[in-house]
Structures are given as structure tokens and as C-alpha cells.
Amino acid sequence: MEKITTTTKPNGYGRNWLELGHFVDDEFGHSNWIKKGDPNQDRQLTVNRLHSDGGTTLDWIILIPENYQWTIVKINYDRLNPRTYQILWQPAEPKTDQLTKPEKIKRIYQLAAGNQELTNLLHQLLPQLPE
């Protein structure tokens, strides 16, 4: 399990909070944040929140399990900078070097899906291995 710690300020000027989700690129190349939920509502995460003495900040301790699929970001909001995202944790991309040969072939067919000419070429080159 991986552990991250951070402090948020939920109220007032310069407030910030944590969210779970992922980034999606649109057709113009802009990265858009898609929210899935809050860390304290996800059952896969172990979350401990501690309030400061004055109640103005929250200290977060989050334990992230292996193979967790969502990105954890800290969103900062104030009048001058409406929204900025600080990535606290994101899942690792699967490395092609660590994949077995059948997994690599399956990935090739996934990438070629929808392109009939490329799929036919793959069938000619790899006739012994199923899709």
C-alpha cells in the first residue's frame, strides 16, 4: 500500500479539497478533469482526516491499495485562479516490457480494432495466435 499525506483548507479564501477521478483529452488536446467522487467516500481507500485546532484545515492520510484505478488530485480555488489541479497520486501505466507475449498480442489487436486492413494484416502475420 502506498501512503500520501496532505493538508487542505476547506473554507474561505484560497480553499482547496481532494477529489478522485481521471483526466480525459478532448479533440483539441485539452485535458479535462472528470470527477468520480471524494476520497472519504471510496471504500477501497483507507482515509484518516484530522481537524486542526481552529478547524480551519484538514490533515489527510490516505492509504492507496495496489492496482487502484483513480487519480487523486488536490483542487485549489480562489478568485485569482479559479481552479488549479495538483496531482497527488495517479495509477501507473502498464509497461509493455512487463507484458507477456499473449498480452502484447491482445493489446495489438485492441489498438487495431476498427481498422479492418490492419486487422487482416495481423491475422496474416500472427495466424497461430487467436484474437
Residues belonging to the chain: 131
Domain ranges of the chain: 2-89, 96-125
Helical H segments across the chain, by residue range: 101-112, 116-125
The CATH architecture annotation of domain 2-89 reads: Sandwich (2.60)
pLDDT reading at 76 higher than 60: yes
The more confidently predicted of residues 76 and 97 is: 76
Angle (nearest 5°) at CA 91 between 4 and 29: 120
Which among 96, 76, 93, 98 is positioned nearest to 85, based on CA atoms? 76
Residues 34 and 106: their CA atoms lie apart, in Å, by: 28
Amino acid, single-letter form, for residue 120? N
Rounded to a whole number, what is the distance in angstroms from the first to the last CA of the chain? Answer: 35
Mean pLDDT of 114-119: 88
Q: Is the pTM of this model over 0.85?
A: no
Task: Grade residue 2 by pLDDT with cuts at 50, 70 and 90.
Answer: very high
Q: What is the pLDDT of residues 43-60, one digit of tens each?
A: 999 999 998 878 789 999
